[in-house]
Amino acid sequence: MGFDYQIHRFDPTGKIHLNKRIEELAELAISKGIAKKSKSGALVVNTGKYTGRSPQDRYIVDSPKIRSKINWGKVNILLKNEKYQRLLEKITNHLNQSGDIFVYDGIAGADKKYQIHVRIISEFAHQALFANHIFREPEEGELDQHQPDLTVLVAPNCLADPKTDGTNSEVFIALNPEEKMVLIGGSHYSGEIKKSVFSYLNFILPDTGVLPMHCSANVGKDNKSALFFGLSGTGKTTLSADPERLLVGDDEHGWSENGIFNFEGGCYAKCINLNRESEPQIFDAIKDYTVVENVVLDKDNNLVFADASISENTRAAYPLSYINNAVAIGVAGHPQKIIFLTADAFGVLPAVAKLDTNAAMYHFLSGYTSKLAGAERGVVQPEATFSECFGAPFMPLKPLVYAKLLKKYLTKYKSQVYLVNTGWFGGPYGIGSRMNIKATRHIVSSILNGELDKVKYQKNPHFNLDVPNSIPELDDFELNPRASWKDKKAYDKKAKGLAKLFVDNMKKFGSIPKAIINQGPKI
């Protein structure tokens, strides 16, 4: 169908670059001074003052049709339609006046039954390149008939005025489900693009019976798949990138009666302190045309992954084809094993625990991990974060909608669920040590190969979790966090404090079945 200028009222002062090849986009990004080419061939972009998502600037446009469905609050902030229309006019005018604009047409969703066509209209070439990497490539001839189901307008240099636009800051990410539009202004961080499309899928898919999930997925040589849920920094990308298994995807998936399917066609991996020894697949994927954000270049244009002077949240976007053992079709069977990842900075959760269906529901609704000191302004010591469904910032609907779908599929396909702590032991952050990646990989392998089905379990008294007595070739102290602390009383106090936070957090959901509540901590 091509690009209809009139649909979005575009009459730019420059060119419209429609579905350009990645080589052309890279050349344009470099020639305009937005990106630099590293020695590896990757394009390096500095995103300025916003080096991560802006959760306080994410809005959903209100309408009578969707009002009762949305989980309104600090995460899903209500934006009145008249304010949205003002922002739409502002961003359209900005794109028209900013010179060249870049249009990318692609697919979100590997399962044809549930996929949507997306159109990304952006201010900069590297954002179109990012979209090329992240979303799925249309099949031959499909672009000729491309009719977008969702359109995303991206203009980092278009700033909101809180006084007149009704926003919290100069940044705005406005999802309008009814008009099938997203507006992104004020931020150069490319993660806003992918997460906005994810949020829209999370809005529409539950009505089709699909559970949208913030998780990575891989599949073994035995064709048995596994899911890895977790918030940023818990290790879902790292742990799913396993040389012994095939990667389905690193971040966003759906679970339907057909099995699991990747929403995306690429990866957006954290790369702070990246090295080939611990994360070989990700390291080797950062090559020609990979889009790298906020990584420092040395004088010879080498990427310095250990340098966090710009941000701890350094990122690399690349297509799945850059991973040697990726599942190109993006689909797999129903998961046999599901792993909930948490990075407990208090050092009190066990390294691994087995969850029955009700316990899985409890921890899915909890979505616990820790914010670290220094990660955000004002955070001076580790803080507990509860993000329902392990992805609250991207889940517009009420949490129980997603939880009920999870229970349906867990029950029907008898998937086994485990909680794995990739955080600290021997003491809290600053005193204890981070779980060794080799030990965590060993735990995950023991789950996937069935070894943890054979061992005996004991109940953790603070968190009511079933913890293995031992795992072959793994030190016992990593399974029993209390034993790793020198000061046992200090451990008990810290553990009781976190257990209470779990209990208090669960109260926000109102009436939850007793069978689920009983699987949480006892205080």
| Predicted confidence (pLDDT) per residue in 26-65, tens digit | 999 999 999 999 999 999 999 999 999 999 999 999 999 9
Is residue 377 part of the annotated active site? The answer reads: no
pLDDT at 141: 78
Report how far residue 351's alpha carbon sits from residue 369's, in angstroms, rounded to the nearest whole number. 13
All structural domains of the chain: 16-208 (3.40.449.10), 344-517 (3.90.228.20)
Report how far residue 43's alpha carbon sits from residue 291's, in angstroms, rounded to the nearest whole number. 5
Question: pLDDT tens per residue, the chain (523 residues)?
Answer: 444 555 567 788 889 999 999 999 999 999 999 999 999 999 999 999 999 999 999 999 999 999 999 999 999 999 999 999 999 999 999 999 999 999 999 999 999 999 999 999 999 999 999 999 999 999 877 777 788 999 999 999 999 999 999 999 999 999 999 999 999 999 999 999 999 999 999 999 999 999 999 999 999 999 999 999 999 889 998 899 898 999 999 999 999 999 999 999 999 999 999 999 989 999 999 999 999 999 999 999 999 999 999 998 999 999 999 998 999 999 999 999 999 999 999 999 999 999 999 999 999 999 999 976 434 444 446 789 999 999 999 999 999 999 999 999 999 999 999 999 999 999 999 999 999 899 999 999 999 999 999 999 999 999 999 999 999 888 766 788 999 999 999 999 999 999 999 999 999 998 899 999 999 998 8
Among candidate residues 20, 315, 363, 407, the one labeled active-site is 315
Please say whether the beta carbons of 357 and 410 come within 8 A.
yes
Report how far residue 418's alpha carbon sits from residue 424's, in angstroms, rounded to the nearest whole number. 18
Is residue 53 part of the annotated active site? The answer reads: yes
Helix 357-366 crosses helix 399-413 at what angle (to 10 degrees)? 150
The residues, any chain, with a CB within 8 Å of residue 453's CB and separated by 6 or more, are 416
Closest CA to 313 of 264, 274, 340, 277: 274
Taking CA atoms, 484 is separated from 349, 383, 459, in Å, by 11, 21, 17
Degrees to nearest 5, angle at CA 55 with 53 and 58: 105
If one counts every other C-beta atom within 10 angstroms of the C-beta of residue 360, the result is 24
Q: Which pair of tokens denotes residue 109?
A: 């969703």
Among candidate residues 111, 251, 344, 466, the one labeled active-site is 251
Among candidate residues 51, 54, 187, 232, the one labeled active-site is 232
Q: What dihedral angle (degrees, nearest 10) is formed by the CA atoms of 448, 453, 457, 462?
A: 40
Q: Which pair of tokens denotes residue 358?
A: 């009700």
Rounded to two decimals, the pTM is: 0.94
Secondary structure of 237-275 as H, E, C letters: HHHHCCCCCEEEECCEEEEECCEEEECCCEEEEECCCCC
Q: Which pair of tokens denotes residue 449?
A: 């190969």
Among candidate residues 195, 224, 337, 462, the one labeled active-site is 195
pLDDT at 232: 83
- pLDDT tens sequence across 408-422: 999 999 999 999 999
- Provide the β-strand partners of residue 246: 219
- Provide the β-strand partners of residue 183: 153, 174
Among candidate residues 117, 214, 224, 337, the one labeled active-site is 214
Please say whether the beta carbons of 115 and 108 come within 8 A.
yes
Report how far residue 61's alpha carbon sits from residue 188's, in angstroms, rounded to the nearest whole number. 22
Is residue 146 part of the annotated active site? The answer reads: no
Among candidate residues 122, 187, 237, 314, the one labeled active-site is 237
pLDDT at 11: 80
pLDDT at 13: 87
pLDDT at 378: 44
Backbone angles phi, psi at 36, to 5 degrees: -115, 150
Among candidate residues 94, 136, 188, 236, the one labeled active-site is 236
Is residue 214 part of the annotated active site? The answer reads: yes
249 alpha carbon, distance to own chain's centre = 11
Taking CA atoms, 523 is separated from 32, 181, 329, in Å, by 59, 46, 47
Burial of residue 11 (number of CB atoms within 10 Å: 0-12, 13-18, 19+): exposed
Is residue 237 part of the annotated active site? The answer reads: yes
Q: Which pair of tokens denotes residue 258?
A: 């057909």
Dmax over CA atoms of the chain, in Å, equals 69
Could you tell me what percentage of the chain is helix, strand and coil, using 3-state DSSP and rounding each to the nearest 5? Answer: 30, 25, 45
473: left (phi over 0), alpha (psi -120 to 50) or beta: left
Please say whether the beta carbons of 1 and 147 come within 8 A.
yes
Report how far residue 451's alpha carbon sits from residue 27's, in angstroms, rounded to the nearest whole number. 50
Is residue 514 part of the annotated active site? The answer reads: no
- Provide the β-strand partners of residue 37: 43
